[in-house]
Structure 1
């Protein structure tokens, strides 16, 4: 059986933006879009967290341009893959899980809007 059949890393999230999206310049010269989605848990424990804050990123210029119009509390839906990223800090190696987005759209509370899709 091929790995294409066994492995799958597809994430779809719909949640509320906790803050305005940021564009962060990287040492490589690329620009990274970073935003955080607040996603409610389906069945939270009575005394536990009721939501999670998920970091989402994208290097895609089309999605970066589209996300520039998003504001805090907008409801956004994204598609992408879950990735683990490592980087060095003065105290050692740090790690984070992020959703690397390939599509994203603002979800209107009325009619659905078109998604931005890139290859």
Structure 2
């Protein structure tokens, strides 16, 4: 059997980090994933997919992702159901993430500020070519 999901989208709100009674980290967030086609009005619809992340990846996701962050998720699809207090059966479909990729550099999309550039950095982008002799190349 194959149950593999790969998604790229933006978070609709900040991840919510919690811990189980045994101290295992778990976080959840919703990923807005654009559809490939446009609707009759020429607009691109999106699907809003619930994602659950466990352990170290959960802590990293909660620390580095925020509302609007672009993220890639690889995992498996899981469905579950329960009976609510009104006696109705509620069905939930979610992605259990095994890998989460942060697809934007830190500080983009209105988040934290960019770190100042080091003036001693020989690879800083000042628009000039870098002078490296063939003797300095390892190959």
TM range (shorter): 0.7 to 0.9
Work out which of the residue numbers 31, 40, 62 in structure 2 matches 1:46: 40
1:86 aligns with 2:64: no
Question: If the length of structure 2 is used for normalisation, what is the TM-score?
Answer: 0.65
CA distance in 1, matches of 2:85, 2:22: 20
Pair 1:56–1:49, CA change in 2 (3 A):
same
After superposition, the C-alpha distances for 1:18-44 in whole angstroms (9 at most, x for unaligned) are 100012455776543110000000013
Root mean square deviation of aligned Cα:
2.2
Structure 1: where are the runs of 5+ without partners? Answer: 1-6, 110-119
Between the aligned partners of 2:20 and 2:89, the Cα distance in structure 1 is: 18
3-state SS of 1:42 partner:
strand
Alignment of 1:57-76 (within 5 A): 57-59=52-54, 61-68=55-62, 69-76=64-71
Q: 1:87 to 1:31 in 2, by over 3 A?
A: farther
Distance 1:84 1:52 in 2: 17
Larger relative contact order, structure 1 or 2 (CA cutoff 8 Å, min sep 6): 1
User: Is the radius of gyration larger for structure 1 or structure 2?
Assistant: 2
So what's the TM-score if we normalise by structure 1? 0.75
Aligned length: 102
Spell out structure 1 runs of 4+ moving beyond 3 A: 24-31
